[in-house]
Structure formats: C-alpha cells, structure tokens
Amino acid sequence: MEKLVYLLWGPTPKNADDTRRLLLEDVAPRLLKLDPRGLQINVDDADSSVPAPVPVPESELPLLAQVSLWLDAHDYRAPYEAILAEVGVRRAGYLVSEALYTDYGRNENHPAPRDWPDGKRSPGVLTVALVQKPPHFEYENWYGHWYGHQSPMSQWTQPRMRYVRNTITRRLTPGAPPYDGIVEEGWPSRGHVSDPHLFYNSGGSDEKLREHARIMMDSVTHMFDLTKLRSFTLSEYLLKTV
C-alpha cells in the first residue's frame, strides 16, 4: 500500500465554505466510490480561518485543500487524478513515506483517544507545512535531523494532538514544486496557533516562551530553507481510515 498526497491551489472563494462543500459533498463521494484503501481531505474553510504560523506571500495562490489517498499502488492513481483535476487551477501530486509520529490518544499532552467517526471534522485546527531542505544539506543528514531531533524536540515544546511526517519520495504530476516533506500538525484549538504562549506550550511564562521559541527557531533555520517554506491552516476530515 502507498500514500499519495495532492495539493490543490486556487483563488480564494467568495464564500469561505464553498471549497469545503465542493470537496466533501461532491469530490469525496466520487473518490470513495473508487474504493481507495484510505482517504483524508484537509480543506481551507471558515473553521480554519486563523493566520498560519508562516504567512504566505500575497502574490501566491492560497492552498485550497490537501487530499491524501492510500492505494494498493500509485500505478492506479489515474481515475483519482481525473476527479481532482476539476478542483482549483493548479495541482501537485506526491508519493510519500508516512510516519505517524503522534496520533490522537497517543500523546501525553492530549491523551484522549479519537472518539469521532470517519467523515466528521476533527476538533481543533490543522497546520500543514510544505518544506524543502537547504541546498547544502546532504539528504541523509537532513533526514536524520528531522526525524532524530526536530520531531522529539517539537513534541516537547508544543502541545500537538497529532503529528504526521510525510517524506516525499517522488513527484507524481508535471511541474510539482520540489518539496522534500509535508508536515501535518493537529492543534487543540485555533488559539493554539494564534497565541504564542499556547503554541510554544509556555504555561504563561514569558521566559519559557522565549526559550522554547529559541530552541525551535534554532532547529528550523538549520534544517529548512525558510525562503521556500509554506504553511497553511486547514480543517481535517478523516473520511476513510486505514
């Protein structure tokens, strides 16, 4: 089984929930009819309307949605891509290696297990980061830093409910940007993204906030090309879990 991730960009809709209705009421049923092993759609809607940790340049199109598919093999993706081709004005598909570092219910900060069914919006808000390694960084060293340092460090400094690392192994669509990873982070509330004290798990301490922010920035400036990093806030819908 393989995981495929598709990113869909387009103009901001006049109604914040138009994209959600399109993806969940039209596109999702058609994708599910093809019987994938799994389907997840993260969508930009009114419930995720909070500024992302790293603002996207105004000259760029916003990310409308991220669609994740689990298929027996990526060779069978054509009918799924035909449906997704109707969404937005630009698309990029990737074959990824998924690492579910922290899941709902397996988290010391938020130990409550998932108790909502497939198809219902996950609580809180999701941030999705598109990342590239700096050109000078050899891949094995970069990979080791991301998995061996960045992941446990960020779990210690931030109160996430869920953390999914998607390491890109192959670009599937022509012209897909050369990202190296797609990071999905689930937060308990929109306030956890907008309030630095909550985002950095400071407990209200200004000193702890500064220390956690310094530790985080030391790591991300070391391992990511910040000029290429893009971050978005989305609503998470687990439509068919593997």
Give bridge partners of residue 102 from the DSSP assignment: 163
| Per-domain residue ranges of the chain | 2-240
Chain-centre distance for alpha carbon 72: 22
Which pLDDT value is given to residue 132?
A: 92
- 11-49 tens-digit pLDDT: 888 888 899 999 999 999 999 999 999 999 999 999 999
Structure tokens given for 179: 């990202």
Q: Is the CB of residue 74 less than 8 Å from the CB of residue 95?
A: yes
Cα–Cα dist 74/2, whole Å:
6
Residue 116: phi and psi, rounded to 5, are -115, 150
Could you tell me the pTM of the whole model? Answer: 0.94
Which pLDDT value is given to residue 199?
A: 92
Cα–Cα dist 176/184, whole Å:
19
- CATH number for the region 2-240 comes to 3.30.70.100
Structure tokens given for 5: 């991730």
- Calculate ∠ Cα 161-167-173, nearest 5°: 120
- 139-179 tens-digit pLDDT: 888 889 999 989 989 888 899 999 999 999 999 999 999 99
- 73-95 tens-digit pLDDT: 999 999 999 999 999 899 999 99
Cα–Cα dist 235/100, whole Å:
18
Q: Is 240 helix (H, G, I), strand (E, B) or coil?
A: strand
CA distances from 177 to 17, 139, 180, 230 (A): 27, 17, 9, 11
As a whole-number percent, the residues of the chain with pLDDT over 90 amount to 71
Give bridge partners of residue 42 from the DSSP assignment: 66, 236
